[in-house]
Amino acid sequence: KIKKYRPLFRVVKKIKLRKFLPSLLPMDLTNINCSHVDIGFLSDMEGDSVRIERKTDLGPGGLTTNRLIVSCPNKDYVNEYSAVMPEEDIIHLLSKSENKIKKYQYDLKHDDINVSINRYTLGIITIDIDASSPINSLPEYCGKEVTDDSQYLEICLSGMREVLKKKRSKVKIKTE
């Protein structure tokens, strides 16, 4: 049972990311800062969804971040409404999630560019880079760009997009 409290949502303006498939992996990933991320999606009857994320740093100290995230994409950035929640509540919400996905996220820098290598338990690997990074300074291990390919969105990798389509198709639109 979830405790009654008011989560404090904060708005985080995030730069959109460019997503790539790797042409090759940059190095031995075991030496890079890594986090284990559990992601779940919940939806309402209208087919709107919310993301639940539990991220555990696998380095010394093992800090865990538990967040409830509502994303509102715009043209150049994504507004994320994020609330940090108690671990037991996030674990409960993840257990109720209709679709889940797990990944290992490796964070590194390449010429002052933040790079995240995401290794999903499905066997898929993607590389995320800040969209404002110049094209000539991309790491050599970035292969085909898949930023606009929806099959590589986490909501699609989890299978949640199909659940939302079914729910939205059942919603009756009121006409006057």
Model pLDDT, residue 137: 76
- What are the strands, taking DSSP E only, across the chain? 9-15, 17-22, 34-43, 49-57, 64-73, 77-84, 99-110, 113-120, 125-130, 142-145
Residues 119-142 as b or e (16 or more Cβ within 10 Å = b): bbeeeebbbbbeeebeeeebbebb
Model pLDDT, residue 168: 56
Cβ neighbours for 165, distance < 8 A, ≥ 6 positions apart: 47
- Flag residues of the chain having pLDDT under 50: 1-5, 172-176
Query: What pTM was computed for the model?
Result: 0.76
Model pLDDT, residue 167: 57
Cβ neighbours for 55, distance < 8 A, ≥ 6 positions apart: 35, 36, 37, 38, 64, 65, 66, 67, 105
Model pLDDT, residue 85: 78
Model pLDDT, residue 170: 58
